[in-house]
Amino acid sequence: MALIVQKFGGTSVGSVERIEQVAAKIKKFRDNGDDIVVVVSAMSGETNRLIELARQINERPVARELDVMVSTGEQVTIALLAMALIKIGVPAISYTGSQVGILTDSSHTKARIMQIDAQNVRKDLKAGRVVVVAGFQGIDEAGNITTLGRGGSDTTGVALAAALKADECQIYTDVDGVYTTDPRVVPKAQRLEKVTFEEMLEMASLGSKVLQIRAVEFAGKYGVPLRVLHSFKEGPGTLITLDEEDSMEKPIISGIAFNRDEAKLTIRGVPDTPGVAFRILGPISSANVEVDMIVQNVAHDNTTDFTFTVHRNDYQNALHVLEHIAQEMGAREVVGDVDIAKVSIVGVGMRSHAGVASRMFEALAKENINIQMISTSEIKVSVVIEEKYLELAVRALHTAFDLDAPAGTAE
């Protein structure tokens, strides 16, 4: 008998029929003798609908009130799923994040889980109930409702699994595992049998939205066995694992991630003196804008150009701050570009193989795709390109690194 935490995403609970299908699936596990805690997302599209409603009042709604509202999406699905379970004879009880003691910090819309007091859950499990918990939400010390950021139900699932010392956390979604890249963009993408936490963390932070970054972080930190599976199709899914077995067949690159959420800003003709980076990025950071990639050009005539990327949502804000800095520093001009995308190759195999980056650049050159920025780490190489070439770039890299499924096997 195992204790399993199962998380079902928005599409999997997107209609009453699907919720009933999920209930039937949970019943099967129960009939097998397993204890089940279920975490659910809001019905697909609901969180977006709620955010849109708030924006009709204010383009930048007060974060505390936004959390009060968007957390209602999950409250609907927990109740529906509990009702569906009870209807088929499975004793079940639903809880919101606060009822189940998910304590977070107070950063509304992107709160972090600090502690879970899973006493209620344990009692209910003992009494033979399936416990259904609302994903994506918690409560801070002052009693305010908080949410965990988009995709945050994954993190609720993993955090509950860690708190309960569950045997496995299963993330059920609309794909049958983690693929070499988003299968919606590259139909020849292949499901990975296993992927290391380190690789999954890079893929998530570089744009693969199949798992929220914090869920992967949490699972790695607390050693939660984590698996991504299809909600309605049988299969082994993908195991996120700690071991990095160096089998000869292990590919150099495990996956390709991409991100359309960034924008690029350049300040031209700034004096090339010590402290320039700080004078530019200090005020950007004070404006609460996070910077991702940074490039400073070689100086020419004692002046230099400085380029960096930010989240697209922060673009206007960053542009405004940068224009102010440019005036102060006597810089020549500020230019911005939102039509960019970041493409990254990820793999622990890179550590033991040289020439991975040049193979990437060669594949992009063959397609005539210009690289605007580059950044590397031990297990990834990222490039910024024009957004319109994104899909072409991902497909070209997928082929260049031998990741394409053999003909006839792609789903």
Q: Which does 136 bind (CB under 5 to 8 A by kind): ligand ASP, ligand ADP, Mg ion, none?
A: ligand ASP
Known binding residue 74? Answer is yes
Known binding residue 10? Answer is yes
Query: Contact region for ligand ASP (CB under 6 A) — 54-62, 101-109, 150-158, 213-221?
Result: 150-158
Q: Phi-psi category of 134—alpha, beta or left, where left has phi over 0 and alpha has psi -120 to 50?
A: beta
Q: Which does 404 bind (CB under 5 to 8 A by kind): ligand ADP, ligand ASP, Mg ion, none?
A: none
151 lies in the binding site for ligand ASP (CB under 6 A): yes
Bridge-based pairing of strands 113-116 and 102-104 is antiparallel
Known binding residue 7? Answer is yes
Minimum CB separation of residue 12 from ligand ADP in Å reads 6
CB atoms within 10 A of CB 191: 19
Q: Which does 150 bind (CB under 5 to 8 A by kind): ligand ADP, ligand ASP, Mg ion, none?
A: ligand ASP
Of 41 and 382, which has the nearer Cβ to ligand ADP?
Answer: 41
φ, ψ of residue 196 to 5 degrees: the values are: -80, 155
Cα–Cα distance measured from residue 403 to residue 276, given in angstroms and rounded to the nearest whole number: 42
Q: Which long-range contacts link 403-408 to residues 24+ away (Cβ below 8 Å)? A: 403/180, 403/181, 403/188, 403/189, 403/190, 403/251, 403/253, 403/255, 403/256, 404/188, 404/190, 405/188, 405/189, 405/190
Hey, which residues does 271 pair with through a beta bridge?
303
Q: Which does 11 bind (CB under 5 to 8 A by kind): ligand ADP, ligand ASP, Mg ion, none?
A: ligand ADP
Q: Which does 344 bind (CB under 5 to 8 A by kind): ligand ASP, Mg ion, ligand ADP, none?
A: none
Strand ranges for 9-97 from DSSP E: 35-40, 92-95
Helix (H, G, I), strand (E, B) or coil at 102: strand
Cβ atoms 121, 160 nearer than 8 A: yes
Q: Which does 73 bind (CB under 5 to 8 A by kind): ligand ASP, Mg ion, ligand ADP, none?
A: ligand ASP
Q: Which does 382 bind (CB under 5 to 8 A by kind): Mg ion, ligand ASP, ligand ADP, none?
A: none
Query: Which among 111, 151, 160, 154 has a CA at the least distance from the CA of 131?
Result: 160
Cβ atoms 71, 136 nearer than 8 A: yes
Dihedral in degrees, nearest 10, Cα atoms 58, 61, 65, 66: 110
Query: Which among 340, 282, 295 has a CA at the least distance from the CA of 315?
Result: 340
DSSP 200-261: HHHHHHTT-TTS-HHHHHHHHHHT--EEEEESSS-S--EEEES-----TT--S--EEEEE--
φ, ψ of residue 26 to 5 degrees: the values are: -60, -40
Q: Which does 152 bind (CB under 5 to 8 A by kind): ligand ADP, Mg ion, ligand ASP, none?
A: ligand ASP
Q: Which of 153, 170, 254, 309 binds ligand ASP (CB under 6 A)?
A: 153
152 lies in the binding site for Mg ion (CB under 5 A): no
173 lies in the binding site for ligand ASP (CB under 6 A): no
- Interacting residues with ligand ASP between 4 and 43 (CB under 6 A): 9-10, 41-42
Known binding residue 105? Answer is no
Minimum CB separation of residue 193 from ligand ADP in Å reads 13
Angle (deg, nearest 10), helices 46-57 and 63-70:
140
* Residue 69, CA atoms < 13 Å, CB-side half-sphere: 17
Known binding residue 209? Answer is yes
Q: Which of 14, 97, 151, 157 binds Mg ion (CB under 5 A)?
A: 151
CB atoms within 10 A of CB 199: 26
Known binding residue 399? Answer is no
73 lies in the binding site for Mg ion (CB under 5 A): no
Minimum CB separation of residue 10 from ligand ASP in Å reads 5
The size of the interface with Mg ion (CB under 5 A), counted in residues, is 2
Please give the residue ranges that form the binding site for ligand ADP (CB under 6 A). Answer: 9-12, 41, 151, 173-175, 178-179, 181-184, 208-210, 255
- Interacting residues with ligand ASP between 90 and 149 (CB under 6 A): 135-136
Binding residues for ATP: 7-10, 173-174, 179, 184, 209-210
Binding residues: 7-10, 47, 74, 173-174, 179, 184, 209-210
Which residues contact Mg ion by CB under 5 A? 9, 151
Binding residues for substrate: 47, 74
Which residues contact ligand ASP by CB under 6 A? 9-10, 41-42, 47, 73, 135-136, 150-154
